[in-house]
Structure 1
Amino acid sequence: MRIIIALILLTAVNRSLNAIIRPEADSADKSAHPTSIPVTTDESWINEILMNGAVEEDMKETGELNPNYYPAQMAAKVVEHYLNTRYGSPSKLFLLHDVHKANAEDVADSGRKYQLEISMQEIIGNTTWTCSAEVLFPRGEQQRSPQVKASCEELLKINTTAQDEALYQQYKMNQSLLSVQHLPDSYGNIEPGMKPFWHLGAVASSFVMLNESTEDTKYNMAQVANVTQMATENDQLKFDYDVLLHDMVSQEIIHWKLLITWSPPEGVKVLQMTMLPRCFECEKPH
């Protein structure tokens, strides 16, 4: 039975990776895009299923959790999205680095609460700090966003004001509006000048991933399929994003359309977010 489960999981993983990177990309130099968020399989989660049974059973556990297994990693991933929505920018992007301690408890009728000690990385400046966080998944028939509290004071002292202001002025004064596709491309590459817009897409996607997260999901942004700068009469830069999100639990690639604004003083604001219809027979993303 364990062999059968392993084969099913490996098949799902290969299907997901093929949906993001075309076969010819396999031989490319993966170090060409060091700032990309990799779409990978959590090997410890596979081991958890093989050793301890279904994930659903582990989700019922309370008390101290194995930090390498799915429930702790899932809750910590929500903290990543939370920090990006509050503090992310084209020059500042947060990524979960490691989970050190995790504890889960059922809170009366409120939901399920996770207490976490984690390391978060600001991937552009390659700086890592330890944070403490609390994530509550509310109960109820209607899905609600997780409630997050995080203490990462040192990480949040990172100052990228100069980089953000320079980018803002460049695209505020441009005569032609930006339009670009496939960040990264089939080989995992992004032109240096376009990396801030990949980062901006990841920050904007965190609004969606935070809003959609449950105890049965674990999201990454896989690709910016398209980003187009739009004309605006105020001080905000405005962008139309098409992004591909990867749910590592279901192995689905989900297409979202986002309308966002950004400026250094106001930060990232998501004006509209729309999930496009699933199309399992459509052309796979580049």
Structure 2
Amino acid sequence: RAMELSPEHFPAARAAAVAVGYLRYLRGGPGRRLELRQLRRAQRQDIDDVGHKYCLELELEDVLDKGRTVGCSAEVLYHLGSTTSAPDVQVTVQGELRSTEEADKEFYNWIRSLEKELVAENIPDSHGNIPPELEPIHLLAWVASGYMIWQNSTENTMFHLAQVKHVKQVKRTDEDLQFDYVLLLHEMVSQEVLPWQVTVLWHPQHGVRVSQ
């Protein structure tokens, strides 16, 4: 039996953060930034011997598309007693996200044209500023952090990307772009800030692949 939860309910908000992280990983890229605008509805089901399932109705904002919003339904299943397996997440976006083909191509060609591999740190800086040319690098970090949030969340955690501490482009012999990141993730419940090392491969045709 499903129990209605207030959208302000902390466990509902934590499940929503996992769903949005997963969606960022699936659909994000250097030209798209998806943010949670509103958690509209939340239910929780306790499934015997399996775990807790949250059913969510979300409103997402595509920040770079003049703040256009899309609806999204999501299910997040946390496995009982497990601190090692990622929650099972299913998401359905209602409506179309705008194409990022042009922005993707522009970013890809710019990185390929650099004479030296790109290296940067502290994005954003201590004043919250991001140089425009590094915005796509920051957006790829959002995608990577989405993957990390999905993989490492439990019912009692809530992660948020605080900063790209360091990023270094790695030369490859194939067509992919590779970036090695050190990301700082803020865990809101314990208030810890944790560094994570993560490798991102990206190509306009193949999307993002993340590995730890």
Would you call these one fold, judging by a TM-score over 0.5? yes
The corresponding residue for 1:183 is 123
Which of 31, 34, 42 lines up with 1:91 in the alignment? Answer: 31
* Matching of residues 200-219 of structure 1 within 5 Å: 200-219=140-159
Alignment partners' CA distance in 1, 2:146 and 2:72: 18
Specify which structure has the higher proportion of helix: 1
Alignment partners' CA distance in 2, 1:266 and 1:189: 30
Alignment partners' CA distance in 1, 2:83 and 2:12: 23
Please provide the CA RMSD for this pair: 1.5
The one-letter amino acid paired with 2:93 is C
Point out where structure 2 has 5 or more consecutive residues left out of the alignment.
Answer: none
Specify which structure has the higher proportion of strand: 2
* Matching of residues 1-286 of structure 1 within 5 Å: 63-125=3-65, 126-141=67-82, 143-155=84-96, 157-271=97-211, 273=212
1:35-92 superposed Cα distances (whole Å, 9 cap, x missing partner): xxxxxxxxxxxxxxxxxxxxxxxxxxx6111111201111111111110111110111
Where has structure 1 moved over 2 Å in runs of 4 or more?
140-143
Aligned residues: 211
Alpha-carbon shift at residue 135 of structure 1 (Å): 0.9
Alignment partners' CA distance in 2, 1:132 and 1:259: 29
The one-letter amino acid paired with 2:95 is E
Alignment partners' CA distance in 1, 2:187 and 2:33: 20
Q: Partner of 2:49: helix, strand, or coil?
A: coil
Q: Greater Rg, structure 1 or structure 2?
A: 1
Alpha-carbon shift at residue 141 of structure 1 (Å): 4.5
Q: Is the 8 A contact 2:70 2:94 kept in 1?
A: no
Alpha-carbon shift at residue 208 of structure 1 (Å): 0.9
Alignment partners' CA distance in 1, 2:74 and 2:143: 19
Q: Partner of 1:165: helix, strand, or coil?
A: helix
Alpha-carbon shift at residue 112 of structure 1 (Å): 0.4
The corresponding residue for 1:25 is none
Q: Partner of 2:84: helix, strand, or coil?
A: coil
The one-letter amino acid paired with 1:113 is K
Alpha-carbon shift at residue 173 of structure 1 (Å): 2.4
Alpha-carbon shift at residue 93 of structure 1 (Å): 2.0
TM-score, scaled to structure 2: 0.95
Q: Partner of 1:244: helix, strand, or coil?
A: strand
Q: Partner of 1:254: helix, strand, or coil?
A: strand
User: Percent identity of the aligned residues?
Assistant: 35
Q: Is the 8 A contact 2:184 2:194 kept in 1?
A: yes
Alignment partners' CA distance in 1, 2:58 and 2:14: 12
Q: Is the 8 A contact 2:158 2:188 kept in 1?
A: yes
The one-letter amino acid paired with 1:163 is A
TM-score, scaled to structure 1: 0.71
Alignment partners' CA distance in 2, 1:87 and 1:129: 13
The one-letter amino acid paired with 1:229 is Q
Alignment partners' CA distance in 1, 2:153 and 2:18: 7
Change (3 A) 1:142 1:99: closer
Alignment partners' CA distance in 2, 1:210 and 1:63: 23
Point out where structure 1 has 5 or more consecutive residues left out of the alignment.
Answer: 1-61, 274-286
Alpha-carbon shift at residue 132 of structure 1 (Å): 1.3
